C-alpha cells in the first residue's frame, strides 16, 4: 500500500517513510493548530455542548483536515527537506 505523499511526490518516496518520532512530530504539528483554530472559531457554539458531543464534533471536523489536507503537505515538506539536506 502506498501513501498519498509517495504517489504525488517522488522526493518523499526517495526519503523513505518517516520514523515513529518524525511521524509523532508531524501529527502534533497538524493536530494542535487545527484543534486550536477550531476551538477559537467554534468556541461559543461548542461551549453549549456536552464534552462527549464537543469531542465528536471536533474530531469529525479535524480528522479529515489533518489526514487529507495537512499530513500530505507535511510529508511533502519532509521529503523536500531530507532531499535538500542529502544534496548538500
Within a domain: residue 73? yes
Domain holding 63, by residue range, is: 55-82
**Per-residue confidence (pLDDT) for residue 15, from 0 to 100:** 73
- Quick check: 86 pLDDT over 70? yes
Mean of pLDDT values over 5-16: 60
Can you tell me which residue has the cell 472559531?
A: 41
> For the chain, what is the domain count?
1
Within a domain: residue 25? no
Within a domain: residue 61? yes
- Quick check: 12 pLDDT over 70? no
Within a domain: residue 71? yes
**How many Å apart are CA 27 and CA 66, to the nearest integer?**
8
- Residue 42, CB-side half-sphere exposure with 13 Å CA sphere: 16
Structure-block grid coordinates of residue 7: 504517489
Within a domain: residue 78? yes
**Per-residue confidence (pLDDT) for residue 17, from 0 to 100:** 93
- Quick check: 23 pLDDT over 60? yes
Amino acid at each position: 500500500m502506498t501513501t498519498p505523499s509517495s504517489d504525488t511526490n517522488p522526493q518523499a518516496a526517495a526519503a523513505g517513510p518517516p520514523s515513529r518520532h518524525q511521524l509523532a512530530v508531524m501529527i502534533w504539528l497538524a493536530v494542535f493548530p487545527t484543534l486550536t483554530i477550531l476551538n477559537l472559531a467554534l468556541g461559543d457554539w461548542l461551549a453549549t455542548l456536552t464534552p462527549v458531543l464537543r469531542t465528536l464534533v471536533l474530531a469529525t471536523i479535524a480528522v479529515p483536515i489533518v489526514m487529507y489536507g495537512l499530513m500530505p503537505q507535511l510529508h511533502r515538506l519532509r521529503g523536500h527537506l531530507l532531499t535538500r539536506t542529502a544534496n548538500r
